[in-house]
Copies of this chain bind each other. A is one copy, B any other.
């Protein structure tokens, strides 16, 4: 099986011009088929504020209401996606900027409004990824760059979690490729001691995960991340890595989650 890399970058890279350019330099040098998934960052919120649209939050999560949706689409699928794509092309990486709506690559459905109405937010499973199409794009030598926008079968655009896109796309492609899924993180990896950047846990598997959870080393926001990573492994992804963007080409750095 051929190897394929799926990489997810979030706001900490997208929001910072220097970090983004450094990441793209490295990304362009990754060999073999690859897929990039980018989050949105703070630009959508900033533009919403400038347009006088209030960002509604529940439990620290943004509500994508009717006023916010077009801004998310403009910023994520438009500005950020095309800037990344054009900058990768400059670096001779044959990128194609897409959303889930394009080529019906991802068909999502609007999240149920109970218990909390998050608005125009899309959910989907790995089985909703159009693997045949995605493979065709990869096989003609293109590097898909996903923005975190999808559409349902009625053509309704929906704001979608970039981590979910990355993991579902990785799981879907695992039937065709030996997939490495890499989450670019603001720290060197999952830390044994949160105050010590040199205490990276190099490997997490089902066995030590239970221990680390009991010890309270993996807690809060990291807990669902690792659970999702282990679920991706269970569904055929070869390995999941959590590391700094600057360590992307260095296989020894970061935390690797595997069987």
Chain A, residues 66-89, CB within 8 Å of chain B (1/0): the string is 000010011111110111011111
Question: What is the distance, in angstroms, from A14's C-beta to the closest C-beta of chain B?
Answer: 14
A35 to B142, alpha carbons, bound, how many Å? 19
Known contacts: A74-B74, A96-B102. The answer to whether A153 contacts B90 by CB under 8 A is: yes
A174 interface residue per 8 A CB criterion:
no
A126 proximity list for chain B (CB < 8 A): none
A149 interface residue per 8 A CB criterion:
yes
Chain A interface bracket (under 10, 10 to 19, 20 to 34, 35 or more): 35 or more
A256 proximity list for chain B (CB < 8 A): none
A217 interface residue per 8 A CB criterion:
no
A47 to B48, alpha carbons, bound, how many Å? 11
- Secondary structure at the A interface, as helix, strand, loop or mixed, is helix
Contact residue among B74, B95, B136 (Cβ-Cβ distance under 8 Å from A79) = B74
Give me 30 A-to-B residue pairs in the complex whose CB atoms sit less than 8 angstroms apart, sorted by A's number. Answer: A50-B52, A73-B78, A73-B83, A74-B74, A74-B75, A74-B78, A74-B79, A75-B78, A78-B78, A78-B79, A82-B102, A83-B157, A86-B101, A86-B151, A86-B156, A88-B155, A89-B101, A89-B151, A89-B155, A90-B151, A90-B154, A90-B155, A94-B104, A95-B102, A95-B103, A97-B98, A98-B102, A103-B142, A133-B140, A140-B140
Q: Which residues of A contact B (CB under 8 A)?
A: 47, 50-52, 70, 73-79, 81-83, 85-91, 94-99, 101-104, 133, 136, 140, 142, 149, 151, 153-157
